[in-house]
Every structure is written in structure tokens, then in C-alpha cells.
A = this chain, B = another copy of it.
Amino acid sequence: MAGSVFGNIFKVTTWGESHGPALGAVVDGCPAGLPIDEEYIQKFLDRRKPGQSEFSTKRNEADKVNILSGVFEGKTTGTPISLVIYNNSQISKDYSNIAECYRPGHADYTFDQKYGFRDYRGGGRSSGRETAGRVAAGAIAVKLLSEFGVEFTTYVESVADISIDYSRFDKSEISKNMLYMPDKTAAEEAAEYLKNLSADKDSSGATVKCVISGVPSGLGDPVFDKLDARLASAIMSIGAVKSFEVGNGKLASKLKGSENNDEFYSENGEVRKRTNNSGGILGGISDGSDIILTAAFKPTPSIYKAQNTVNSKNENISLEIKGRHDPIIAPRAVVVVETMAAIVLADALIMNCGSRVDNLKKIYDR
């Protein structure tokens, strides 16, 4: 039942419920000497903040991060970094009507089955708010990776059937529209679709893509901690994610070997690939090209339409969910996907240092 610790060396523990006094994370195993401050981390938390757009909830969550340990004179000390985000006074009564009932698509029923009872306020630990701790911790991983030239480009690739058109791909557009799509036209079309859906008391699924450049080759630890296996674990652990793909993903099941293989070639003394169908990972180890991930998010399960369900007394009931809920999960989850991927890569980076005797000797040479 312990499942809130992630990572082998760069080890993240998250804690906190939607309506408790605070949420947070502890990062153990971050190397000493990394410059970091609350301002840096805050930028990531701001990206998952609700109330940013007309498609996200109107609750006022300041989500201000506090560093309580592990940083001294602006640098990490190598000791655990404790990050806390205090919850503003949440009014719990919005959720009182769900205390006794099992919302379709939610974890109410399974938490009761597992633990015997649950903190029902706002979803408790199964709320999307839980990801605040992940984002704060993952921001430190992004910072660590940035020291090695690693960069992330993460965005919403599709909303229902509306996909971005890569011929219109514009990275700068991602932070400009409320759906974090790198294609203004697609973003406008999707916005219109969501508006109508909201009016219909419904919600939509979407996909998020994460492209990571500058990753050194050699990261990932076969056979069970292959880089793609670790990334899959990290991304699938985000609430509402129903599929994970790397590179060509599911499409690879439809291709021929001659179509899917990436040819190597040598140029200026470096080994490169003509295509990147593998998504930057071969045999579970990074190959130096871009790492490409896709996650599919289910539609928000909290919809305003009346739904049939049961309560904890096992009675059939009709439920109308109140409160404020986004009609789409993916835009706010973009930064969650990015930071979870960063945690995996930071961990793999540190793990890789011990993989060769000559590497160890570089450090211990006296």
C-alpha cells in the first residue's frame, strides 16, 4: 500500500489530499550544488494552476510553493528537499453530496474497497490536485537536466478528433492559447468544440505529446528499468491517462520492419539516425535523438449530466455532480507529463554514472 515514493536515486515522495491543510513532496537524492529557488519551481506550478482559461475550474488555488529544507545559499545541499504548498481555505460543503456515493469514472468505490473508508472531500488523494507535489518536485528534475542541455517541448496534440497540423506547428503558440496547443487554428477549433460540449454538460478526452531534446545516449537500465518502461510507469501514474506511447507508438503495430526501422548513418564523426520512429530509445536505452512520448487522457469523469450510479449503501441512485470541473483534463496536465518525464530522466542520468568502471574512475581518480 506504499506507493507514494518514485525513483531509484532521485527519489520523489508526494503527499497530500485535495482538501487537507497542504500538499507537498520530498525530493531525496538530488545532487548537491544545483542552483534552485522557489521562483523557478513556481513557474511550473503556475502552468497547472486552474482558473487560467475559460476551460479550467474557477477555484482560486494560489499554489504557492515553499522550500522547507535541502537548499542553502541558493543551491541544493544533497539532503532531502521538502516542498510544501498550503491549501487555501477550501470550502468542503460543495462536495458533501458525494460523500456517500460512487461517482462513475472516479476512484470513490475503489478507495472504499481498498482502505475501508476515504477522505471524500474533493476526491481526497485521488484528486487531480495531488499532482501539485509532482510538479514541484519535477521542476527540480527539469532544472538538473537543463544543466546538461536537456529541453522539453510539451503540448496538447489533439482534443477529441481535432489534431494539430504539424505543417502549422509553432512552439511559441503553446503558451499563448488556453489549450496549450502549438497550432493556433487547431486550438481555436478545439476551443469551439469544448464550448459546445460544456453547454451540453459533457467533457472531452485529449492527447498530450512530450518531446525531449538533448538527452545523452546511454540512459535507461535494462531489463525492467528500461527508459521507456520507467517513462510509461511515470506517465500512466498520472490520473486519467489511459495509454502511453513512445515514438511511433501504436502505429508501429501496423508497419513493416523496413518502414519502422531507423537507419543509422555517420556524419562528421557522429552516429545519427535518418528517422526517429523509435522515439529516441533503443533496447530501453536513450540513443541521443529526441525522446518522443504521447499520453492519452480520458474525458473528465465529473460531468454535470445526470448519471446513474450506486451509493455506499449499495442503492441505485441518480447523481448530478456539482462544483466546478474542467471539461478537459489535458491542458493542465501538460506540465505534469513534462515534470514526471523529467523525474525519470534525472533518475536515469544519475543511475548511469555508475554503469562503467571508467566512469567511476573519472570521479575517484586521485
The answer to whether B285 and A355 have CB atoms under 8 Å apart is no
- Residues on the B chain within 8 Å of A75, using CB: 117
> How would residues 285 to 301 of chain A score, 1 for a CB under 8 Å from any chain B CB and 0 otherwise?
11110000000111111
Complex partner residue of A114 from B239, B254, B285, CB under 8 angstroms: B285
Residues A352 and B303 in contact, CB atoms below 8 Å apart: no
What are the residues of chain B within 8 A of A11 when measuring CB–CB? 2, 5
Query: Is the Cβ of B77 less than 8 Å from the Cβ of A125?
Result: yes
Which residues, 1 to 57 on A, are CB-close (under 8 Å) to B? 1-11, 13-17, 20-24, 26, 28-29, 31-34
- Within 8 Å of chain B (Cβ to Cβ): is A69? yes
- For A20, A32, A105, A262, the residue with the greatest tally of chain B CB atoms inside 10 Å of its CB is A32
* Docked CA distance A363–B364 (Å): 12
Of A78-86, A168-176, A179-187, the segment with at least 4 beta carbons within 8 Å of chain B is A78-86
What is the CA–CA distance of A31 and B114 in the complex, to the nearest angstrom? 10
Task: Give bound CA distance, A289 to B276, whole Å.
Answer: 38
Residues of chain B within 8 A of A363, CB atoms compared: 352-353, 359, 362-363
Q: Is the CB of B253 within 8 A of A296?
A: yes
Knowing A9-B1, A237-B284, A244-B236, the reply to whether A206 touches B253 (Cβ < 8 A) is yes
Copies in the complex: 4
Q: Per-residue 0/1 for A144-183: is the Cβ within 8 Å of any B Cβ (1 yes, 0 no)? A: 1001110000000010110000000000000000000000
A299 lies within 8 A of B252 (CB): yes
The answer, among B4, B29, B116, B130, for a CB contact under 8 Å with A354, is B29
Residue of B nearest to A270 (CB): B314
In chain A, residues 282-335, which have Cβ atoms closer than 8 Å to a Cβ of chain B?
A: 282-288, 296-303, 305, 307-310, 314-316
**A window 243-282: CB within 8 A of B:** 243-266, 269-271, 278-279, 281-282
Q: How far is the CB of A108 from chain B (nearest CB, A)?
A: 8
The complex places the Cα of A221 from the Cα of B107 at a distance, in Å, of 12
Cα–Cα distance between A7 and B66 once the two chains are bound (Å)? 27
Q: Are B203 and A257 neighbours in the complex by a CB distance under 8 Å?
A: yes
Q: Which residue of B lies closest to A263 (CB)?
A: B308
Cα distance A45–B359 in the bound complex, in angstroms:
29
Taken together as a complex, chains A and B put the C-alpha atoms of A310 and B165 apart, in Å, by 34
- Per CB-CB distance, the 3 closest pairs between chain A and chain B, nearest first, are A107-B283, A2-B29, A3-B221
Flag A199-227 by CB within 8 Å of B: 1 or 0 each.
00011111100000000111111111110
Report if A360 contacts B (CB, 8 A). yes
Q: In angstroms, how far is the closest chain B Cβ from the Cβ of A197?
A: 7
Provided the pairs A256-B197, A258-B202 are in contact, do residues A223 and B3 lie with their beta carbons within 8 angstroms? Answer: yes
A326-353 contacts to B, CB under 8 A, are: 349-353
Distance of A266 Cα from B225 Cα, bound (Å)? 41
What is the CB-to-nearest-CB distance from A2 to chain B, in angstroms, rounded to a whole number?
Answer: 3
Q: How far, in whole Å, are A160 and B247 apart by their CA atoms in the complex?
A: 17
